[in-house]
Structure 1
Amino acid sequence: MIQLIATDMDGTLLNSEKALPPQLPALLEELYRRDITFAVASGRSHMMLTSLFGELAEEMIFICDNGACVMQPHEAPVLHSLPKAVLAEILTQCHNLPHVMPVLCGFHHIYCPAGMEDDLMQEIRRYYWDIQELPYDALFQVEEPILKVAVCNKNGPETHTYPLLHQILQERYELLVSGDCWMDVMCKGITKGTAVRHLQEQLGITAAETAVFGDYDNDISMLQCADYSFAMQNAPARVRECARYLAPSNEDNGVVRQICSLLGLHYSALPKA
């Protein structure tokens, strides 16, 4: 019997318009009635996630910043911040790369360089808000603990950004490609999968009682935590190969449809918000 469901957001629960499924409130009510825990696991910050879910967020579990921030109802958040030295190294390297911008993700604020190209800023604002734009040198002096550095490269991170930062940081930190334009740097061992495993231990839940949904490389560690691991139809082949099952695409409301199938619910009967 499934007791825990964890889902990614972009490319998974959200459609291409970044909208939540209209049936989600009714589905969550049914999950809570059955005492099934529902968690959102995203590379986004908690500010963006809680704002997106509104009142629904009050009783939800959020695995934010790819696991660097975990928030449970009525509990203090669990945070994992990067050392100042590694932040300085990442900022120095990114400053020398064309069309590459670092985004420093704190718990309270997001920091990025001022004067960015319009297309880069537009891409960053798709996923982050409460952004503090600072002169590049001032980023080195940010006092707030930084949970994650998200590196935006409109040309794709795999070719230049990821190899360079991996060569510098080697195996000391987690480096994940999290989107077509994005890669993230976190503390070693901090992933969505680590957060899901801790949640399983806390709840006394096994992989056989867990369902997980994802669509990109940063979801693979999470897919490995569940017997019911679903890659979305729209996921790259390398991600689909890491999952046991395939769910309909995010454009076809695949997460909600698949949960209904798992729990014996009628998708068409779920009321829309």
Structure 2
Amino acid sequence: MIQLIATDMDGTLLNPEKKLPQQLPALLEELYHRDITFAVASGRSHMALTSLFGELAEEIIFICDNGACVMYPHEAPLLHSLPSATVHRVLDLCQTLPGTVPVLCGFHNIYYPADANDAMQEEIKRFYLQFKKVAYETLYTVDEPILKIALCNMNGPEQETYPAMQNAFGDDYELLISGDCWMDIMRKGITKGAAVTALQERFGITAAETMTFGDYDNDISMLKCAEFSYAMENAPERVRAHAKHLAPPNTENGVVRVICETLGIHLDDI
């Protein structure tokens, strides 16, 4: 019996226009009546996630910044910030990688360099809110704790950005490719999977009672936590290999469809 559902957002729950499924409010109400815990697990920061859900956000568990920020309803957030010295080292290395733009993700604000080109700025604005565009040297003086560093490379992070960061930080930090143009850096042990495991332990829920959905590398740790693990049909093969099941793509409302089919909920009724 399913007791916990955790889903990624971009490429998974959200449609290509970055909108939530129209059936979601009614589905969440049905899950609430069945005492099924619903969690959102995303690389996005909490500002972007909670704004998407509006009033629905009040009763949802949010695993933000790949687990660097976890928000339970009506509780103080659990935060895992990076050491300032590490943030500075990443900024130094980014200056040697011309195609890479660092985005510093704090709990209250997002910071990125003002000299990022227009295409990169548009890409950043697709996923983040409450951002501050500052001079590159100002990034070194941000006094807000940084939960995650997202690195944007419009040519993809695999060729240059990820190898450079892996060489410099791979032994001591979590490095994950999180999108076509993105990779993320968090504290060691901070992943979506670790956050889902903490949820299971808190509520006494087993992997056999857990359903997870994801479409990219940063979802793999979460897929491993569930017996009912679903990679989206639009996911790369390297991600599908870690899931026990395949869900219809996000373009076909795959997450909602699988949940309803598994739990015997009729879409027409919601």
Band of TM-score, shorter chain: over 0.9
Gaps of 5+ in 1: none
AA partner of residue 242 (structure 1): H
User: Alpha-carbon deviations, 1:26-81, whole Å to 9, x = none?
Assistant: 00000000000000000000000000000000000000000000000011100000
Which whole-Å deviations, capped at 9, do the CAs of 1:66-122 have from their partners, x for residues lacking one? 000000001110000000111011001111212210000000000000121000000
User: Partner residue of 2:259?
Assistant: 259
Equivalent residue number for residue 148 of structure 2 = 148
Query: What do residues 146-172 of structure 1 show as CA deviations (whole Å, max 9, x unaligned)?
Result: 000000000100111000011111310
Q: SS state of the match for residue 126, structure 1?
A: helix
Q: Quick one: which amino acid aligns to residue 169 of structure 1?
A: F
Measured against aligned partners, the alpha-carbon deviations of 1:112-137 in whole angstroms (never above 9, x if no partner) come to 00121000000000000111111101
Q: C-alpha separation between the residues in 1 aligned to 2:8 and 2:19?
A: 13
> Given the alignment of the two structures, is residue 242 of structure 1 paired with residue 242 of structure 2, yes or no?
yes
Distance, in Å, in 1 between the alignment partners of 2:96 and 2:72 is: 39
State how far apart, in whole Å, the 2-side matches of 1:269 and 1:193 are. 32
TM-score, normalised to structure 1's length? 0.98
CA distance in 2, matches of 1:17, 1:165: 31
Aligned residue in 2 for 1:88 = 88
Which residue of structure 1 lines up, in the alignment, with residue 7 of structure 2?
7
Aligned residue for 1:196, secondary structure, equals helix
Partner SS for 2:175: strand
Q: Which position in structure 2 is the counterpart of 1:208?
A: 208
Task: Please tell me the residue identity of whatever aligns with 2:191.
Answer: T
Partner letter of residue 136 of structure 2? Y
Structure 1, 165-174 or 25-34: larger mean CA deviation: 165-174
AA matched with 1:198: A
Q: Which runs of 4+ in 1 moved over 6 A?
A: none
- Written as runs of structure 1 = structure 2, the 5 A alignment for 1:16-165 is 16-165=16-165
Secondary structure of the residue aligned to 2:141 is coil
Between the two proteins, the alignment pairs up a number of residues equal to 270
Partner of 1:218: 218
TM superposition score normalised by structure 2: 0.99
Q: Distance in 1 between matches of 2:145 and 2:27?
A: 36
What's the counterpart of residue 233 of structure 1? 233
- Gaps of at least 5 residues in structure 2 are none
1:179: which partner in 2?
179
Which amino acid is 2:137 matched to?
A: D
Q: What is the CA-CA distance between 1:261 and the residue it aligns to? A: 0.7
Which amino acid is 2:153 matched to?
N
RMSD across aligned positions (CA): 0.6
Distance 1:140 1:89 in 2: 10
Matched to 1:221, the amino acid is S
